[in-house]
Amino acid sequence: MTTSRASSAARAATPSPRSVVQRLVSCRWRKTSHPINPVTPSALLQEAMKTHAPEGPILAIHSVVVAPAYRRKGLAARALRWYRDEHAFSGGVRSIKLIAKAELLALYVSAGFRVDGPSAIQHGKDAWFDCSAEGLEMVQLDAFPPAGAFSGNPAAVVFSHRSDDWMAKVANENNLSESAFLSRLGPSKYAIRWWTPGREVDLCGHATLAAAAALFETRRVADDAVLEFETRRAGSLRVSKVRNGGDDDGTAPWLSMDFPTGPLTEVPRDEIPAAMLRAVGIQENGPVSLAFAGKGPPSVPDVFIHLEGVEDLASAPVDIGVLATNDLVDRGVIVTCASKRPGVDFESRFFAPKYGVQEDPVTGSAHTLLTAYWESVLGTNGERPLVAHQASKRGGKLRVRTEGDRTIIQGQAAFVFDARLFAHPDDL
Protein backbone atom coordinates (compact mmCIF):
# COMPACT_ATOMS: atom_id res chain seq x y z
CA MET A 1 0.00 0.00 0.00
CA THR A 2 1.25 3.49 -0.88
CA THR A 3 0.33 6.48 1.23
CA SER A 4 0.91 10.10 0.22
CA ARG A 5 0.85 12.52 3.15
CA ALA A 6 1.33 16.24 3.54
CA SER A 7 0.98 18.79 6.32
CA SER A 8 -2.60 19.59 7.31
CA ALA A 9 -1.59 23.11 8.31
CA ALA A 10 -2.54 25.51 5.51
CA ARG A 11 -0.75 28.83 5.72
CA ALA A 12 -1.51 30.38 2.34
CA ALA A 13 -4.66 32.34 1.63
CA THR A 14 -5.40 30.01 -1.28
CA PRO A 15 -3.75 26.76 -0.17
CA SER A 16 -2.60 24.07 -2.52
CA PRO A 17 -4.23 20.63 -2.34
CA ARG A 18 -0.96 19.16 -1.12
CA SER A 19 -1.10 21.35 2.01
CA VAL A 20 -4.64 20.36 2.97
CA VAL A 21 -5.14 16.85 1.53
CA GLN A 22 -4.24 14.94 4.67
CA ARG A 23 -4.18 11.50 3.08
CA LEU A 24 -4.50 9.87 -0.33
CA VAL A 25 -4.24 6.08 0.00
CA SER A 26 -3.87 3.70 -2.93
CA CYS A 27 -2.63 0.23 -3.80
CA ARG A 28 -2.02 -1.91 -6.90
CA TRP A 29 -4.46 -4.63 -8.00
CA ARG A 30 -4.20 -7.24 -10.69
CA LYS A 31 -7.69 -8.60 -11.34
CA THR A 32 -10.79 -7.20 -13.03
CA SER A 33 -13.78 -8.92 -14.62
CA HIS A 34 -12.09 -8.84 -18.06
CA PRO A 35 -9.04 -7.25 -19.71
CA ILE A 36 -8.70 -3.47 -19.39
CA ASN A 37 -9.68 -1.52 -22.48
CA PRO A 38 -11.08 1.97 -23.12
CA VAL A 39 -14.39 0.80 -24.62
CA THR A 40 -15.86 -1.74 -22.20
CA PRO A 41 -15.57 -0.89 -18.49
CA SER A 42 -13.86 -3.62 -16.51
CA ALA A 43 -15.50 -4.20 -13.14
CA LEU A 44 -13.54 -4.46 -9.92
CA LEU A 45 -13.78 -7.83 -8.17
CA GLN A 46 -14.30 -8.48 -4.48
CA GLU A 47 -11.26 -10.77 -4.27
CA ALA A 48 -9.04 -8.08 -5.79
CA MET A 49 -9.31 -6.08 -2.58
CA LYS A 50 -7.61 -8.89 -0.65
CA THR A 51 -4.30 -8.81 -2.53
CA HIS A 52 -1.83 -6.00 -3.12
CA ALA A 53 0.02 -6.70 -6.39
CA PRO A 54 2.98 -4.28 -6.64
CA GLU A 55 3.25 -4.78 -10.41
CA GLY A 56 -0.48 -4.97 -11.08
CA PRO A 57 -1.99 -2.90 -13.93
CA ILE A 58 -4.68 -1.33 -11.72
CA LEU A 59 -3.95 1.55 -9.37
CA ALA A 60 -6.85 1.57 -6.90
CA ILE A 61 -7.55 4.69 -4.85
CA HIS A 62 -8.96 3.80 -1.46
CA SER A 63 -9.51 7.20 0.11
CA VAL A 64 -8.90 10.92 -0.16
CA VAL A 65 -9.10 12.90 3.08
CA VAL A 66 -9.18 16.70 3.10
CA ALA A 67 -8.73 18.81 6.23
CA PRO A 68 -12.24 19.82 7.43
CA ALA A 69 -11.69 23.57 7.07
CA TYR A 70 -10.89 23.21 3.36
CA ARG A 71 -13.58 20.84 2.16
CA ARG A 72 -15.92 21.74 -0.72
CA LYS A 73 -13.37 24.11 -2.26
CA GLY A 74 -12.35 21.95 -5.22
CA LEU A 75 -9.04 20.94 -3.66
CA ALA A 76 -9.72 17.19 -3.60
CA ALA A 77 -10.62 17.20 -7.30
CA ARG A 78 -7.43 19.14 -8.09
CA ALA A 79 -5.30 16.70 -6.09
CA LEU A 80 -6.92 13.75 -7.86
CA ARG A 81 -6.15 15.25 -11.27
CA TRP A 82 -2.52 15.75 -10.25
CA TYR A 83 -2.38 12.16 -8.99
CA ARG A 84 -3.80 10.84 -12.26
CA ASP A 85 -1.39 12.91 -14.35
CA GLU A 86 1.58 11.57 -12.40
CA HIS A 87 0.66 7.88 -12.25
CA ALA A 88 -1.23 7.13 -15.49
CA PHE A 89 1.02 5.12 -17.82
CA SER A 90 3.67 5.06 -15.08
CA GLY A 91 5.27 1.83 -13.89
CA GLY A 92 2.93 -0.43 -15.84
CA VAL A 93 -0.30 1.25 -14.67
CA ARG A 94 -3.08 0.74 -17.23
CA SER A 95 -6.08 1.97 -15.26
CA ILE A 96 -6.83 4.00 -12.14
CA LYS A 97 -9.96 2.85 -10.34
CA LEU A 98 -12.00 3.48 -7.23
CA ILE A 99 -15.41 2.80 -5.77
CA ALA A 100 -17.59 5.64 -4.48
CA LYS A 101 -20.95 6.29 -2.90
CA ALA A 102 -23.57 8.09 -4.96
CA GLU A 103 -23.12 11.41 -3.15
CA LEU A 104 -19.42 11.54 -4.14
CA LEU A 105 -19.78 10.69 -7.82
CA ALA A 106 -19.88 14.36 -8.86
CA LEU A 107 -16.50 14.90 -7.19
CA TYR A 108 -14.84 12.07 -9.07
CA VAL A 109 -16.43 13.02 -12.39
CA SER A 110 -15.10 16.58 -11.90
CA ALA A 111 -11.65 15.03 -11.41
CA GLY A 112 -11.87 13.22 -14.75
CA PHE A 113 -13.16 9.81 -13.69
CA ARG A 114 -15.87 7.88 -15.52
CA VAL A 115 -18.76 6.23 -13.68
CA ASP A 116 -18.84 2.64 -14.93
CA GLY A 117 -21.95 1.52 -13.03
CA PRO A 118 -22.94 -0.21 -9.79
CA SER A 119 -20.04 -2.00 -8.14
CA ALA A 120 -19.92 -5.73 -7.50
CA ILE A 121 -17.96 -5.00 -4.35
CA GLN A 122 -19.99 -5.10 -1.14
CA HIS A 123 -18.79 -2.57 1.41
CA GLY A 124 -21.34 -2.05 4.16
CA LYS A 125 -25.02 -1.41 3.48
CA ASP A 126 -24.65 1.49 1.04
CA ALA A 127 -24.61 1.10 -2.73
CA TRP A 128 -21.22 1.73 -4.33
CA PHE A 129 -20.26 2.55 -7.89
CA ASP A 130 -17.18 1.66 -9.94
CA CYS A 131 -15.27 4.66 -11.33
CA SER A 132 -12.26 4.54 -13.61
CA ALA A 133 -9.78 6.68 -15.50
CA GLU A 134 -7.85 4.98 -18.29
CA GLY A 135 -5.11 6.62 -20.28
CA LEU A 136 -3.71 10.13 -20.17
CA GLU A 137 -5.91 13.17 -20.57
CA MET A 138 -5.30 15.32 -23.64
CA VAL A 139 -7.19 18.46 -24.60
CA GLN A 140 -7.22 20.55 -27.75
CA LEU A 141 -7.68 24.30 -27.79
CA ASP A 142 -7.59 27.02 -30.44
CA ALA A 143 -5.09 29.71 -29.41
CA PHE A 144 -5.37 33.39 -30.37
CA PRO A 145 -8.71 32.89 -32.15
CA PRO A 146 -10.13 36.00 -33.82
CA ALA A 147 -13.60 34.42 -33.98
CA GLY A 148 -13.84 31.80 -31.22
CA ALA A 149 -13.46 28.06 -31.75
CA PHE A 150 -12.32 26.79 -35.16
CA SER A 151 -10.15 29.84 -35.73
CA GLY A 152 -6.70 30.69 -34.46
CA ASN A 153 -4.08 27.99 -34.01
CA PRO A 154 -5.00 24.53 -32.69
CA ALA A 155 -2.72 22.99 -30.07
CA ALA A 156 -2.92 19.75 -28.13
CA VAL A 157 -2.01 19.69 -24.44
CA VAL A 158 -1.00 16.50 -22.61
CA PHE A 159 -0.71 16.79 -18.82
CA SER A 160 2.34 14.59 -18.45
CA HIS A 161 5.83 13.86 -19.78
CA ARG A 162 6.76 10.37 -20.90
CA SER A 163 9.56 9.14 -23.15
CA ASP A 164 10.78 11.42 -25.96
CA ASP A 165 9.90 8.75 -28.50
CA TRP A 166 6.34 8.47 -27.21
CA MET A 167 5.80 12.24 -27.09
CA ALA A 168 7.15 12.61 -30.64
CA LYS A 169 4.77 9.89 -31.85
CA VAL A 170 1.80 11.54 -30.12
CA ALA A 171 2.65 14.87 -31.76
CA ASN A 172 2.96 13.20 -35.14
CA GLU A 173 -0.39 11.45 -34.60
CA ASN A 174 -2.05 14.75 -33.64
CA ASN A 175 -0.67 16.34 -36.83
CA LEU A 176 -1.09 19.84 -35.38
CA SER A 177 1.52 22.55 -35.66
CA GLU A 178 2.33 21.97 -31.96
CA SER A 179 1.58 19.60 -29.11
CA ALA A 180 2.55 20.68 -25.59
CA PHE A 181 3.52 18.22 -22.85
CA LEU A 182 3.41 19.29 -19.20
CA SER A 183 4.98 17.89 -16.04
CA ARG A 184 3.93 19.33 -12.71
CA LEU A 185 6.74 20.77 -10.55
CA GLY A 186 4.59 22.60 -7.98
CA PRO A 187 1.07 24.01 -7.40
CA SER A 188 1.47 26.57 -10.22
CA LYS A 189 4.74 25.44 -11.79
CA TYR A 190 5.14 23.08 -14.74
CA ALA A 191 7.89 21.89 -17.03
CA ILE A 192 6.78 22.31 -20.63
CA ARG A 193 8.02 20.79 -23.89
CA TRP A 194 6.71 21.28 -27.42
CA TRP A 195 6.68 19.05 -30.50
CA THR A 196 5.67 19.70 -34.09
CA PRO A 197 4.77 16.64 -36.20
CA GLY A 198 8.43 16.51 -37.18
CA ARG A 199 10.57 17.46 -34.17
CA GLU A 200 10.86 19.12 -30.76
CA VAL A 201 11.15 22.92 -30.69
CA ASP A 202 12.75 25.27 -28.16
CA LEU A 203 9.87 27.74 -27.81
CA CYS A 204 6.22 27.89 -28.86
CA GLY A 205 3.88 30.72 -27.94
CA HIS A 206 0.47 29.47 -29.02
CA ALA A 207 0.90 26.05 -27.39
CA THR A 208 2.04 27.76 -24.16
CA LEU A 209 -1.11 29.87 -24.22
CA ALA A 210 -3.16 26.72 -24.85
CA ALA A 211 -1.38 24.91 -22.00
CA ALA A 212 -2.13 27.73 -19.55
CA ALA A 213 -5.77 27.91 -20.65
CA ALA A 214 -6.06 24.13 -20.28
CA LEU A 215 -4.69 24.21 -16.72
CA PHE A 216 -7.17 26.94 -15.77
CA GLU A 217 -10.08 25.31 -17.62
CA THR A 218 -9.57 21.88 -16.02
CA ARG A 219 -9.04 23.49 -12.60
CA ARG A 220 -5.61 21.99 -12.12
CA VAL A 221 -4.55 25.42 -10.89
CA ALA A 222 -6.31 28.17 -8.97
CA ASP A 223 -8.05 30.86 -10.98
CA ASP A 224 -5.76 33.56 -9.61
CA ALA A 225 -2.55 31.60 -10.14
CA VAL A 226 0.48 33.02 -11.91
CA LEU A 227 1.68 30.03 -13.89
CA GLU A 228 5.38 29.43 -14.35
CA PHE A 229 6.58 27.20 -17.17
CA GLU A 230 10.14 25.92 -17.08
CA THR A 231 11.59 25.27 -20.53
CA ARG A 232 14.70 23.41 -21.62
CA ARG A 233 16.29 26.28 -23.56
CA ALA A 234 14.09 29.39 -23.34
CA GLY A 235 14.19 30.05 -19.60
CA SER A 236 11.12 30.58 -17.45
CA LEU A 237 7.80 31.72 -18.95
CA ARG A 238 4.99 33.23 -16.86
CA VAL A 239 1.29 33.26 -17.73
CA SER A 240 -1.64 34.76 -15.85
CA LYS A 241 -5.20 35.85 -16.48
CA VAL A 242 -5.68 39.48 -17.46
CA ARG A 243 -7.55 41.18 -14.64
CA ASN A 244 -8.47 44.54 -16.17
CA GLY A 245 -10.18 44.92 -19.52
CA GLY A 246 -9.50 41.36 -20.55
CA ASP A 247 -12.98 40.11 -21.38
CA ASP A 248 -13.69 42.87 -23.86
CA ASP A 249 -15.66 40.61 -26.21
CA GLY A 250 -17.22 38.33 -23.61
CA THR A 251 -16.07 35.08 -25.23
CA ALA A 252 -13.14 33.94 -23.09
CA PRO A 253 -10.68 35.42 -20.61
CA TRP A 254 -7.52 36.96 -21.98
CA LEU A 255 -4.25 35.45 -20.85
CA SER A 256 -0.97 37.34 -20.57
CA MET A 257 2.33 35.61 -21.36
CA ASP A 258 5.72 36.94 -20.30
CA PHE A 259 8.39 35.83 -22.80
CA PRO A 260 12.03 36.82 -23.38
CA THR A 261 12.41 39.35 -26.20
CA GLY A 262 14.31 37.90 -29.12
CA PRO A 263 16.93 40.34 -30.45
CA LEU A 264 16.96 40.71 -34.22
CA THR A 265 20.21 40.75 -36.13
CA GLU A 266 19.98 42.54 -39.47
CA VAL A 267 20.81 40.50 -42.56
CA PRO A 268 22.11 42.58 -45.52
CA ARG A 269 20.07 42.24 -48.67
CA ASP A 270 22.99 40.87 -50.65
CA GLU A 271 23.21 37.93 -48.21
CA ILE A 272 19.62 36.88 -48.91
CA PRO A 273 19.33 34.49 -51.86
CA ALA A 274 17.39 35.99 -54.75
CA ALA A 275 15.22 32.86 -54.85
CA MET A 276 14.05 33.52 -51.27
CA LEU A 277 13.14 37.11 -52.09
CA ARG A 278 11.13 35.93 -55.09
CA ALA A 279 9.52 33.24 -52.92
CA VAL A 280 7.97 35.91 -50.67
CA GLY A 281 6.80 38.10 -53.54
CA ILE A 282 9.71 40.51 -54.15
CA GLN A 283 10.24 40.82 -57.89
CA GLU A 284 12.68 43.11 -59.64
CA ASN A 285 10.84 46.39 -60.44
CA GLY A 286 7.71 44.96 -58.80
CA PRO A 287 5.36 46.75 -56.37
CA VAL A 288 6.58 44.82 -53.30
CA SER A 289 9.93 45.78 -51.82
CA LEU A 290 12.14 44.72 -48.91
CA ALA A 291 12.10 47.17 -45.98
CA PHE A 292 14.19 45.07 -43.59
CA ALA A 293 15.57 41.57 -43.23
CA GLY A 294 16.90 39.96 -40.06
CA LYS A 295 17.45 36.76 -38.12
CA GLY A 296 16.37 35.81 -34.62
CA PRO A 297 18.48 34.29 -31.80
CA PRO A 298 19.02 30.52 -31.30
CA SER A 299 15.77 30.12 -29.34
CA VAL A 300 13.78 31.73 -32.20
CA PRO A 301 16.11 31.30 -35.21
CA ASP A 302 13.68 32.65 -37.79
CA VAL A 303 14.33 34.66 -40.92
CA PHE A 304 12.50 37.99 -40.58
CA ILE A 305 11.28 39.87 -43.67
CA HIS A 306 9.43 43.20 -43.60
CA LEU A 307 7.66 43.91 -46.87
CA GLU A 308 6.44 47.24 -48.20
CA GLY A 309 3.87 47.74 -50.93
CA VAL A 310 1.77 44.67 -50.05
CA GLU A 311 -1.92 45.11 -50.84
CA ASP A 312 -3.18 42.02 -49.00
CA LEU A 313 -0.72 39.89 -47.06
CA ALA A 314 -3.22 37.06 -46.59
CA SER A 315 -3.48 36.43 -50.33
CA ALA A 316 0.15 37.15 -51.23
CA PRO A 317 1.72 34.13 -52.99
CA VAL A 318 4.55 32.37 -51.16
CA ASP A 319 6.68 29.54 -52.59
CA ILE A 320 6.87 27.04 -49.73
CA GLY A 321 9.17 24.74 -51.68
CA VAL A 322 11.92 27.37 -51.88
CA LEU A 323 11.65 28.13 -48.14
CA ALA A 324 11.90 24.41 -47.33
CA THR A 325 15.24 24.04 -49.10
CA ASN A 326 16.95 27.37 -48.37
CA ASP A 327 20.09 27.17 -46.23
CA LEU A 328 19.38 30.52 -44.55
CA VAL A 329 16.26 29.06 -42.92
CA ASP A 330 16.85 27.21 -39.63
CA ARG A 331 13.32 27.06 -38.21
CA GLY A 332 10.94 29.31 -40.11
CA VAL A 333 10.31 32.50 -42.05
CA ILE A 334 8.34 35.49 -40.73
CA VAL A 335 6.84 37.79 -43.36
CA THR A 336 5.34 41.01 -41.98
CA CYS A 337 3.93 44.36 -43.08
CA ALA A 338 2.00 47.32 -41.70
CA SER A 339 -1.72 46.61 -41.49
CA LYS A 340 -4.51 48.31 -43.39
CA ARG A 341 -7.11 46.77 -41.07
CA PRO A 342 -8.88 49.21 -38.73
CA GLY A 343 -7.52 48.93 -35.20
CA VAL A 344 -4.63 46.64 -36.20
CA ASP A 345 -1.01 47.81 -36.11
CA PHE A 346 0.80 45.09 -38.07
CA GLU A 347 0.26 41.74 -39.77
CA SER A 348 2.41 38.68 -40.27
CA ARG A 349 2.57 35.18 -41.68
CA PHE A 350 4.85 32.34 -40.58
CA PHE A 351 6.18 29.38 -42.57
CA ALA A 352 8.16 26.43 -41.16
CA PRO A 353 8.20 23.64 -43.77
CA LYS A 354 11.48 22.26 -42.37
CA TYR A 355 9.56 21.49 -39.15
CA GLY A 356 6.61 19.91 -40.94
CA VAL A 357 4.49 23.09 -40.78
CA GLN A 358 3.72 24.58 -44.19
CA GLU A 359 2.09 27.70 -42.73
CA ASP A 360 1.44 28.20 -39.04
CA PRO A 361 -2.02 29.69 -38.31
CA VAL A 362 -0.74 31.84 -35.40
CA THR A 363 2.82 31.98 -34.03
CA GLY A 364 3.24 33.41 -30.55
CA SER A 365 7.02 32.94 -30.44
CA ALA A 366 7.46 34.94 -33.67
CA HIS A 367 5.99 37.92 -31.83
CA THR A 368 9.01 38.00 -29.51
CA LEU A 369 10.78 39.33 -32.62
CA LEU A 370 7.88 41.22 -34.18
CA THR A 371 6.85 43.26 -31.12
CA ALA A 372 10.07 45.15 -30.41
CA TYR A 373 10.62 45.67 -34.13
CA TRP A 374 7.22 47.22 -34.75
CA GLU A 375 7.38 49.32 -31.57
CA SER A 376 10.55 50.83 -33.02
CA VAL A 377 9.03 51.34 -36.48
CA LEU A 378 5.82 52.88 -35.10
CA GLY A 379 7.57 54.81 -32.34
CA THR A 380 5.37 53.50 -29.51
CA ASN A 381 8.25 52.04 -27.46
CA GLY A 382 5.95 49.98 -25.24
CA GLU A 383 3.74 52.91 -24.21
CA ARG A 384 0.63 51.08 -25.47
CA PRO A 385 -0.12 47.53 -26.55
CA LEU A 386 0.05 46.88 -30.27
CA VAL A 387 -2.70 44.87 -31.91
CA ALA A 388 -1.35 42.16 -34.19
CA HIS A 389 -3.13 40.09 -36.82
CA GLN A 390 -1.69 36.87 -38.24
CA ALA A 391 -2.95 36.71 -41.81
CA SER A 392 -3.33 32.93 -42.18
CA LYS A 393 -6.51 31.25 -43.36
CA ARG A 394 -7.64 30.68 -39.76
CA GLY A 395 -6.42 34.10 -38.62
CA GLY A 396 -5.05 35.18 -35.28
CA LYS A 397 -5.50 38.09 -32.87
CA LEU A 398 -2.86 39.17 -30.34
CA ARG A 399 -2.08 42.16 -28.12
CA VAL A 400 1.65 42.69 -27.62
CA ARG A 401 4.12 45.08 -25.96
CA THR A 402 7.62 45.03 -24.50
CA GLU A 403 8.60 45.53 -20.86
CA GLY A 404 12.36 45.90 -20.56
CA ASP A 405 13.90 42.77 -22.05
CA ARG A 406 10.59 40.87 -21.96
CA THR A 407 7.73 40.66 -24.44
CA ILE A 408 4.16 40.55 -23.13
CA ILE A 409 1.87 38.58 -25.45
CA GLN A 410 -1.84 38.50 -24.71
CA GLY A 411 -4.48 36.31 -26.29
CA GLN A 412 -7.46 34.07 -25.76
CA ALA A 413 -8.00 30.34 -26.18
CA ALA A 414 -11.13 28.42 -27.15
CA PHE A 415 -11.59 24.94 -25.64
CA VAL A 416 -12.46 22.46 -28.41
CA PHE A 417 -12.37 18.94 -26.95
CA ASP A 418 -11.16 16.70 -24.14
CA ALA A 419 -9.80 13.27 -25.04
CA ARG A 420 -7.80 10.34 -23.67
CA LEU A 421 -4.60 8.80 -24.96
CA PHE A 422 -4.69 5.00 -24.79
CA ALA A 423 -1.49 4.18 -26.71
CA HIS A 424 0.71 3.09 -23.80
CA PRO A 425 4.46 3.93 -23.93
CA ASP A 426 5.26 0.31 -23.00
CA ASP A 427 3.55 -0.86 -26.21
CA LEU A 428 5.87 1.01 -28.58
What are the φ and ψ backbone dihedral angles of 214, each rounded to 5 degrees?
-65, -40
Residue 9 has a pLDDT of 26
Residue 23 has a pLDDT of 55
Residue 202 has a pLDDT of 93
Residue 40 has a pLDDT of 53
Give the separation between CA 428 and CA 425, rounded to whole angstroms. 6
Identify the helix (H) or strand (E) that includes residue 323.
helix 320-325
- Half-sphere exposure (Cβ direction) of 137: Cα atoms closer than 13 Å: 26
77 burial (CB, 10 Å; 0-12 / 13-18 / 19+) is: buried
Q: Which of 134, 137, 178, 217 is catalytic?
A: 178
Give the amino acid at 181.
F
What are the φ and ψ backbone dihedral angles of 165, each rounded to 5 degrees?
-60, -45
Residue 64 has a pLDDT of 85
Residue 16 has a pLDDT of 58
Phi-psi label, residue 45: left if phi above 0, alpha if psi -120 to 50, beta otherwise: beta
Give the amino acid at 15.
P
Tell me the mean pLDDT per 10 residues along the chain, length 428: 27 48 58 49 58 81 86 88 90 89 94 93 88 94 97 97 95 96 96 95 96 96 96 95 64 92 95 95 94 95 97 96 94 97 97 93 97 97 94 98 96 96 84
Looking at 157-290, list the stretches that DSSP marks H as alpha helix, in order from N- to C-terminal side: 164-174, 205-217, 274-279
- Do residues 322 and 352 lie in contact, with contact meaning Cβ atoms separated by under 8 Å? no
Identify the helix (H) or strand (E) that includes residue 79.
helix 75-87
Residue 261, SS3?
A: coil
Residue 10 has a pLDDT of 27
Residue 25 has a pLDDT of 59
Question: In the chain, how long is the greatest CA-to-CA distance?
Answer: 88
Residue 195, SS3?
A: strand
- Do residues 153 and 167 lie in contact, with contact meaning Cβ atoms separated by under 8 Å? no
113 Cβ contact list (under 8 Å, min separation 6): 80, 96, 98, 131, 132, 133
- Do residues 374 and 217 lie in contact, with contact meaning Cβ atoms separated by under 8 Å? no
Distance of CA 50 to the CA centre of its chain: 41
- Determine whether 383 is an active site residue: no
Secondary structure of 386-409 as H, E, C letters: EEEEECCCCCEEEEEEEECCEEEE
- The pTM is what? 0.85
